[in-house]
């Protein structure tokens, strides 16, 4: 990918995240906001002779987090709620010159709009918790069970469905939580006593921590690999928890 | 990509307080910027974000402009720009002018009262 392509991809990803974040706004308002933000980006980049990806990054950072923009815009959640939520009280308009529609809206507007389900502050904890619980179950039980697999899937669904993580963060998390456990389980099954049981789910994957009848060398490699993977996955989880929580708090603050 | 987590350039300013204070005042700052002539998005954004007090994320300006346009306080028109595609320019309407005047009449006594209270004058 050349520099120009990377620039465009970066901008399109931002616009895409913004469109998702704003999906609760009326269509015409959403289109309007997206078009004018696109214009802002184009105008900013036109002013630079030969914009680098770092320039693009700076422009996008100046615009701010799409979720924060949506929260400020009072975008109601794209949720199945039966009632249409009025926009957040960030646009009080003067009594003197106000239209009837506006006055009606302002009297019914709640003090603070409720955050959409997957933007609430417990969501990052639930995501990381699902993975942690799944890991603990496999570790302690010594086998892959339906409960652990379900929890793992729940964690993945939350990670990808919640708007609390940026695209890059979702990708990093997806890689960590898919590849990490696969490597560990794969190692465990591969080294299970008897060998050749890669397809057998219940064959004590965590024998890998104390494989019987193996020379010390492969044991060391195996232990080192799984220790490294575990540390990497835990670090990724902690990072995603921190990012997601920060964004949920920020969104709540802007709403309230 | 590193999203801004509401990181604030002025370490001493409370961003939560600022968010609340901006509410209800920011849109009139936008109207005031347009008082002496029309302007386009990036220009308005730069003017408002220059000191990092009125706006921290420039993107938050655009939903605001959209609402102001919807409620008839500003109007937009397309204009050719020297370099690149045409831009939309924002202009104060008569209604916007009246709204701004009403805000100013209210703001001055409000600000003075707050200042007096903060200074402890009786």
Inter-residue contact A65 to B3 (CB < 8 Å): yes
User: Closest Cα to residue B67, out of A89, A252, A85?
Assistant: A89
pLDDT digits (tens, 9 = 90+) for A103-122: 333 333 334 456 678 888 88
| Helix and strand numbers, DSSP H then E, in chain B | 5, 3
| A64, A90, A98 member nearest B57 (Cβ) | A64
Residue A35, helix vs strand vs coil: helix
| A39, A69, A93 member nearest B63 (Cβ) | A69
* Domain boundaries of chain A, sorted by first residue: 3-92+102-112, 118-255
CB of A255 within 8 Å of any CB in chain B?
Answer: no
Residue A130 has pLDDT above 50, yes or no: yes
Which comes out higher in pLDDT, residue A75 or B96? B96
* Domain boundaries of chain B, sorted by first residue: 15-119
Q: What local confidence, expressed as pLDDT, does residue A114 receive?
A: 62
Q: What local confidence, expressed as pLDDT, does residue A217 receive?
A: 56
- How many angstroms separate the CA atoms of A89 and B94, rounded? 24
Q: What local confidence, expressed as pLDDT, does residue A1 receive?
A: 56
| Complex-level ipTM | 0.81
pLDDT digits (tens, 9 = 90+) for B27-56: 999 999 999 889 999 999 999 988 888 888
- How many angstroms separate the CA atoms of B48 and B35, rounded? 14
* Percent of all residues in chain B with a pLDDT value above 70, rounded to a whole number: 87
pLDDT digits (tens, 9 = 90+) for A133-178: 888 887 777 677 888 889 999 999 999 888 888 888 898 999 999 8
Q: What local confidence, expressed as pLDDT, does residue A97 receive?
A: 39
Which are the contacts of A109, defined by CB distance < 8 A and separation ≥ 6?
A: A86, A87, A88, A89
Q: Which residues of A touch B59 (CB under 8 A)?
A: 18, 37, 40, 63-64, 66, 68-69
Overall pTM > 0.80 = no
Residue B88 has pLDDT above 80, yes or no: yes
User: Closest Cα to residue B20, out of A133, A28, A255, A85?
Assistant: A255
Lowest mean pLDDT among A67-81, A96-110, A146-160, B101-115: A96-110
Inter-residue contact A180 to A233 (CB < 8 Å): yes
Highest mean pLDDT among A101-105, A251-255, B13-17, B24-28: B24-28
Q: What local confidence, expressed as pLDDT, does residue A80 receive?
A: 34
Across B9-33, average pLDDT: 80
Chain A closest-CA separation from residue B90 CA (Å)? 11
Query: What residues of chain B have any CB closer than 8 angstroms to a CB in chain A?
Result: 1-6, 15-16, 19, 23-24, 27, 40-42, 45, 49, 56-60, 62-67, 69-73, 81, 83-85, 87-88, 95, 98-99, 102-103
Q: What local confidence, expressed as pLDDT, does residue B54 receive?
A: 87
In the CATH hierarchy, which fold is given to the domain comprising B15-119?
Arc Repressor Mutant, subunit A (1.10.10)
Lowest mean pLDDT among A153-162, A190-199, A221-230, B48-57: A190-199
Residue A254, helix vs strand vs coil: helix
Highest mean pLDDT among A93-107, A116-130, A186-200: A116-130
- For A:55-74, CB contacts with B below 8 A are 57, 60-69, 72-74
First to last CA, chain B: 52
Q: Which residues of B touch A29 (CB under 8 A)?
A: 63, 66-67, 70
Residue B39 forms beta bridges with which residues? B90
Taking one residue from A and the other from B, the number of pairs with CB-CB distance under 8 angstroms is: 133
Residue A44 has pLDDT above 50, yes or no: yes
Per-residue exposure over A60-92, b if at least 16 CB sit within 10 Å of its own CB, e if not: bbbbbbbbbbbbbbbbbbeeeeeeebbbbbbbe
Q: Which residues of A touch B95 (CB under 8 A)?
A: 97
Across B73-90, average pLDDT: 84
CB of A100 within 8 Å of any CB in chain B?
Answer: no
């Amino acid at each position: 990918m050349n520099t120009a392509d990377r620039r465009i991809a970066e901008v399109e990803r931002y616009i895409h995240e913004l469109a998702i974040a704003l999906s609760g706004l009326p269509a015409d308002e959403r289109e309007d906001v997206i078009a004018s933000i696109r214009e802002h980006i184009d105008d900013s980049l036109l002013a630079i002779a030969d914009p680098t990806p770092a320039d693009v990054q700076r422009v996008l950072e100046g615009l701010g987090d799409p979720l924060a923009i949506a929260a400020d815009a009072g975008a109601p959640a794209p949720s199945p709620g039966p009632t249409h939520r009025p926009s957040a009280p960030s646009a009080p308009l003067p009594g003197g010159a106000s239209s009837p529609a506006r006055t009606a809206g302002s009297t019914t507007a709640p003090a603070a709009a409720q955050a959409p389900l997957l933007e609430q502050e417990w969501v990052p904890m639930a995501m990381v918790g699902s993975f942690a619980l799944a890991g603990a179950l496999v570790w302690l039980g010594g086998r892959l069970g339906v409960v652990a697999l379900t929890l793992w899937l729940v964690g993945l669904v939350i990670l990808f469905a919640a708007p609390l993580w940026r695209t890059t963060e979702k990708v990093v998390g997806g890689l960590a939580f898919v590849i990490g456990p696969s490597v560990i389980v794969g190692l465990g099954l591969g080294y299970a006593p008897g060998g050749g049981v890669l397809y057998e789910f219940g064959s004590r994957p965590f024998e890998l921590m104390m494989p019987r009848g193996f020379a010390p060398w492969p044991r060391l490699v195996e232990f080192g690999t799984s220790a490294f993977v575990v540390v990497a996955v835990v670090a990724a989880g902690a990072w995603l928890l921190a990012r997601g929580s920060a964004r949920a708090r920020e969104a709540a603050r802007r709403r309230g | 990509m590193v999203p801004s987590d509401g990181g604030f350039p002025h370490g001493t300013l409370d961003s939560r307080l600022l968010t609340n204070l901006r509410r209800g005042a920011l849109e009139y700052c936008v109207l005031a910027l347009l008082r002496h002539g029309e302007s386009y998005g990036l220009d308005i954004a730069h003017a408002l974000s220059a000191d990092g007090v009125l706006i921290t994320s420039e993107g938050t300006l655009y939903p605001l402009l959209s609402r102001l346009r919807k409620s008839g306080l500003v109007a937009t028109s397309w204009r050719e720009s020297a370099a690149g595609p045409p831009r939309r320019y924002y202009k104060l309407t008569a209604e916007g002018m009246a709204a701004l005047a009403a805000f100013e009449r209210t703001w001055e006594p409000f600000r003075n009262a707050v200042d007096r209270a903060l200074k402890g004058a009786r």
